[in-house]
Amino acid sequence: MEYSEKVMEHFAHPHNVGKIEDADGIGEVGNAKCGDIMKMYIKVNAGIITDVKFNTYGCASAIATSSMATDMIKGKPITEALRLTNQAVVEALDGLPAVKIHCSVLAEEAIKAAVKDYYDKNGIAYDPALFKEDCCHYDHHHAE
């Protein structure tokens, strides 16, 4: 399986690893199929994600996409972070092997889960459609 240099770099030296003790939002997601688990922590100030950390137990792809995704949302408004798609993360990593695309979905889901937790804790109203459980947002045809 061929991984891009960027994937290998983020896997070997992932950015933003760890936990934020006084996180404003925490999201934990898992993919039972491949046993990957990801926990995402965010700090929010005036609607901006000022800090983000993650812990991932999973494959190189899951770790690399988490690392890249946290880079991509750090310092950004929450609204922008919610629009981050796994496709954008995969493109930023110069692609992933097709069988590993599903791993990249975890990062997107973890960000959403952390933001939802932040909204819930602070009583911030949001559109539930933003967080609907979407099991099918990657192309199943690649899974064969």
Does residue 9 register a pLDDT over 60?
yes
Q: How far apart, in Å, do the first and last CA atoms of the chain sit?
A: 15
Contact 70, 21 (CB under 8 A): no
Q: How much is the pTM?
A: 0.87
Is the pLDDT at 143 greater than 60? The verdict is no
Among residues 59, 103, 135, 136, the one annotated as catalytic is: 103
pLDDT for position 129: 85
Give the residue carrying structure tokens 């988490």.
66
User: Residue 2 pLDDT > 50, yes or no?
Assistant: yes
19-47 residue pLDDT tens: 999 999 999 998 777 788 999 999 999 99
Q: Which of 108, 110, 106 is nearest to 41 (CA)?
A: 110
Reply yes or no on whether 135 is catalytic: no
136 is catalytic: no
Catalytic residue among 34, 59, 135, 136: 34
pLDDT per position as a tens digit, 85-142:
999 999 999 999 998 888 888 899 999 999 999 999 999 998 888 887 654 444 333 3
Torsion of CA 103, 104, 110, 113, to 10 degrees: -100
